[in-house]
Chain A
Amino acid sequence: MTHSGADKNRLVALIRREITVVMRSQSEFVYPLAFFVIVTSLFPLAVTPDPVQLAFIAPGVLWVAALLSILMSLNSFFQADFEEGGLEQLLVCGVAGSQIVLAKSIANWLASGLPLVLTTPLIGYLFNLDAQGIRIAVVSLLIGTPVLSLIGSIGMCLTLGLRNGGVLLTLLVLPLFIPVLIFGSSAVQAASSGLDYSGQLALLLALLILSLLLAPFAGSAAMKISID
């Protein structure tokens, strides 16, 4: 009982530290969001300004932009801590590797995923999505972006300390992102064309539970290999 209480305190302390660091350097906080907004706003210019067509491509555009934005934001959470020796210190202080990965994933989602979810209604409106489509876009991103953060953390732990880690990270992680992308965007598509979308959302939720359970441990094992 007291043990699990201590674990929880540590997790909260870790998350709070990550968030404080992110808030100190606004660039890490603003860039992913700015990237998301800029990429999505380029599509009407490049593809077509036609509202009907825009509503048709909106689910895919929203999801791809969110996915890339999360991928971009992950680097700062792990790489700096690895280079400064912070990860080593945490491990030597007796913090479990899985706890570090979980804390960093949660902090990453709070700092980069949640702002994306909150701006989605605006982007959806710009893309002429109907109200139901926007609602499901928000819900599906709310469930899906934590999965992206968690899976991305595993990849990040594997590529710690590598010189061109960014490219390798993309190669490693994108195949694992694909199920999330497919179910996420098809849920929005189904909702905006008036079909049943509960199946896709249920699958997204299943992915979230699965990655919450497994990603911290996989990430921890990968981190130990990278630090060794």
Chain B
Amino acid sequence: MIRCLCGLSQRFNGDILFNQQSVDSNHSDFFLNTLYLGHKLGLKPKLTVAQNLAFYFGLRQDSIGIISNVDEEPFEFRMNLVLKQLSIAAYLDEPVGNLSAGQKRRVSLARLITEPVKFWILDEPMVALDTFGQEWLENACNTHLKSGGMLLVTSHQTISGINALQELILTQSQSIFEVTE
């Protein structure tokens, strides 16, 4: 379902609307505002942490001006700050391939901070994270929500720390089982 939402899969009927416009007809607008982190992290193992983050930031550089409530701190500053928070600052110039699974996951989560977009789609972001990392993610999500961002998270664990608005619990048959406010 998440993949359909991101326009990666066309195996569905109906329309997906973003800002009252169909995602298909309004592709670029949707993608400019969305950051999707899935099971595959999309990091190049041969490139360093800094190179990977800078590349994805560079792709969005032209569009980032659109988002209103972004502080004007430069990319380098934000990258160093978030990597320090995630305690992987020491690996800045290390090829991603040499990092552990949890460290790689944290590098991909750092993109949430280095690329300030409105809509986060996180598919199982807690995988391979330790309690410290989970706490950081919950805090980041809360800050994001407070500053007016949107968030879509799927998880097998119960996420207690995020002040979520709605929770959908899916049963085996993929129909909506329960909605809690």
Contact = CB atoms under 8 A, between A and B. Distances in A.
Interface of A: 2, 6, 9-10, 13, 17, 20-21, 24-25, 81, 83-86, 88-95, 224, 227-228
Contacts of B46: 20-21, 24-25
B39 A85 contact: yes
Given A17-B47, A24-B46, A91 B8 contact: yes
B10 to A, nearest CB: 6
Contacts of B91: none
Interface in B1-35: 6-11, 27-28, 31-32, 34-35
Classify the interface of chain A: helix, strand, loop or mixed. helix
B95 A24 contact: yes
Given A10-B59, A88-B40, A94 B27 contact: yes
B40 to A, nearest CB: 2
Given A91-B7, A92-B8, A86 B27 contact: no
Nearest to A22: B46
Interface in B39-97: 39-47, 51, 55-56, 58-63, 95
**Taking each of A6, A85, A94, A95, which has the highest tally of chain B beta carbons within 10 Å of its own beta carbon?**
A94
B44 A84 contact: yes
B36 interface: yes
Contacts of B47: 17, 20-21, 24
Given A6-B62, A17-B51, A228-B8, 12 more contacts: A2-B62, A21-B46, A25-B46, A84-B43, A84-B44, A85-B39, A89-B36, A91-B7, A92-B31, A94-B28, A228-B10, A228-B11
Contact of A95 (B6, B8, B41, B59): B59
A94 B40 CA distance: 18
A92 B6 contact: yes
Contact of A21 (B41, B44, B58): B44
Given A20-B51, A85-B38, A93 B31 contact: yes
A228 B9 contact: yes
7 contacts: A2-B62, A9-B61, A13-B59, A24-B95, A84-B43, A85-B38, A86-B44
A93 B7 contact: no
A92 B30 CA distance: 9
A85 B36 CA distance: 11
A85 B8 contact: no
Nearest to B34: A92
A183 to B, nearest CB: 37
A95 B27 CA distance: 10
A88 B45 contact: no
A92 B39 CA distance: 14
A83 B40 contact: yes
A153 to B, nearest CB: 19
B41 A85 contact: yes
A29 B36 CA distance: 32
Contacts of A20: 46-47, 51
B60 A93 contact: yes
Contact of B42 (A6, A10, A25, A84): A84
**A-B pairs with lowest CB-CB distance, top 9:** A85-B40, A94-B31, A89-B42, A85-B42, A24-B46, A6-B62, A92-B36, A86-B42, A93-B59
B58 A13 contact: yes
A84 B41 contact: yes
